[in-house]
Structure 1
């Protein structure tokens, strides 16, 4: 699939907001209700769980993350248990060790902290987004059991933010996780190692294509009219210059918009702008290419990762001879370096066959 260098519509980095969330005071936390979904619509009074807490919608909302939007009222910690009276047996905090929402640690000052969001071992005293003080009163203490990432994706939101510290706010984690339902086998095939390797490979390639999830569309507008293939029977109903590169893997050409739209049930041939307006749609088009298209290679990138053919084969499926077999070794190295960084964040070996 042809693509050019892209440009940022907005090069500003997403800024983390420090939010202090009050801890539940009951001796036993309530059960977690159904997990929050970015794709679902919630009306006033409806509830959802997110990051180990229950939330209640104050009014109509969709895609607004509990804990980061005022539309949600905090209902307290969920899924917890109670330790015996007079005890507080939390392990010592270790810098660089991955923690999940609900984990409780004892810091070097002797005080206790609870993880409000997954994090790769951030200092509990410098971020109230990731950690909050936790009270061990000497009579009872409320703790939260460690649970898997609420999204079900092998990459947590904290890890995603660590991978893309300067990403365009358009490329949301919620948009990515909402798109996963389109291709449920993605990062969900094989053992834990394979799942994490595929997620890292996909995100490494999207990082390379978009300058770290900064660029949304192709910059050189002079190229835009070139992506209309007049030999297709359906032509270019959105206009000759409408099918330029967009999204995490820079979907381009009218025939690719037609194929992706048909596969996803979206009107991308007539409305290609959806890819730059809706984060979930943008991520779905990238997953469409990753899971279904061989490109200039001999297999899909998904097949390459789940069948242990290696990261190098994913590069071949995306850019083929333009980069592989000595075509552009610097670009190949850039992709490989990013993949190695992301597998390190996920705590998994990168495997073999990294180059093409």
Structure 2
């Protein structure tokens, strides 16, 4: 019986039909997590590739161990003590994958299906797949929203946030704008999420303030030249929410787009977390503001974080208007991209 099982097992493994974790052979160092072309590694990061462990000398992405000077060879691996190595089947386009399936992508990285799918590309379809740390489970618990920022990372970004600004409110609001942080590759998606949250951080003092703090400004946000006027009152359209929505015409436009009565009831933005996040995403995704493009298009078009500042505050901060405020936004963006493990890219200021 054992003679029959051994050849059968070998055939199943060769065909990729059996996914299993195989303990490393004794006598060599245990293999670190396999290198991934799409992952970002900081100095000191350990990976395995082609039977060797490697250590990153400095920040790197998409530089192959053994062919790039950034990687220092730490010797052969495949043995004892450091945990198992993975032997999951290669991903196949068009093959049905139930939730929980684990596959090896073409770049050597592993992914776990968080939703059943008919063979969507793991690098493109983040809603359906999460990165999987070989032998150790997903990098973060699967998030049904498919957001590139986990709740733990969100809390790390905003340690003093007001309890009003919930993570669930944000992920609920994202359903109104499905292209947000889900356009382009993993790097672009993470950069856009970091850029949005960095600007939000600046506008709200770290997600602390729900409404504009300078109450003297409140009566100034009523433009009575609009045919609909200010039905909620002269001083009702002050800044609220993550990007501090203000002016009666912005409440009218956001309300129309979102199907909410914000012109007559602007207080909804400070009472409902999902509504507050939706207004911020509405501005980010659809409004050029004082810039020449939406903040979303600035990030997915690789125009840089600085262009998002222009779309939010234009000449008030850009072109020397207030370099200190610009730098505050940039500092937050760089901190958030570091938390997400992605490079901030260029063109950071305006």
Q: Is TM more than 0.5 here?
A: yes
The verdict on how the C-alpha distance between 1:210 and 1:91 changes in structure 2, with shifts beyond 3 A counting, is farther
Q: Greater helix percent: which structure?
A: 2
Distance 1:340 1:144 in 2: 28
TM-score, with structure 2 as normaliser: 0.61
State the shift of 1:151 in Å. 2.5
Aligned partner of 1:317 among 299, 307, 311: 311
Aligned residue in 2 for 1:268 = 262
Alignment of structure 1 residues 203-218 onto 2, 5 Å: 203-218=197-212
Alignment of structure 1 residues 51-62 onto 2, 5 Å: none
Aligned partner of 1:190 among 184, 200, 216: 184
- Show CA shifts across 1:216-269 (max 9, x none): 001222211111111000011111111000000000000000000000000000
State the shift of 1:310 in Å. 0.2
- Show CA shifts across 1:46-76 (max 9, x none): xxxxxxxxxxxxxxxxxxxxxxxxxxxxxxx
* Stretches of 4+ aligned residues off by more than 4 angstroms: 81-84, 90-93
- Show CA shifts across 1:153-186 (max 9, x none): 0000000000000000000000000000111101
Alignment of structure 1 residues 135-284 onto 2, 5 Å: 145-146=137-138, 148-284=142-278
Distance 2:192 2:224 in 1: 36
Q: Secondary structure of 2:201's match?
A: helix
TM-score, with structure 1 as normaliser: 0.60
Larger radius of gyration: 2
Aligned residues: CA RMSD? 2.6
Aligned partner of 2:280 among 265, 275, 286: 286
Aligned residue in 2 for 1:66 = none
State the shift of 1:144 in Å. 8.9
The verdict on how the C-alpha distance between 1:92 and 1:161 changes in structure 2, with shifts beyond 3 A counting, is farther
State the shift of 1:92 in Å. 9.7
Distance 2:268 2:31 in 1: 48
Q: How many residues align?
A: 229
State the shift of 1:347 in Å. 0.2
Distance 1:298 1:83 in 2: 52
Unaligned stretches of 5+ residues in structure 2: 1-18, 23-29, 34-43, 46-80, 84-134
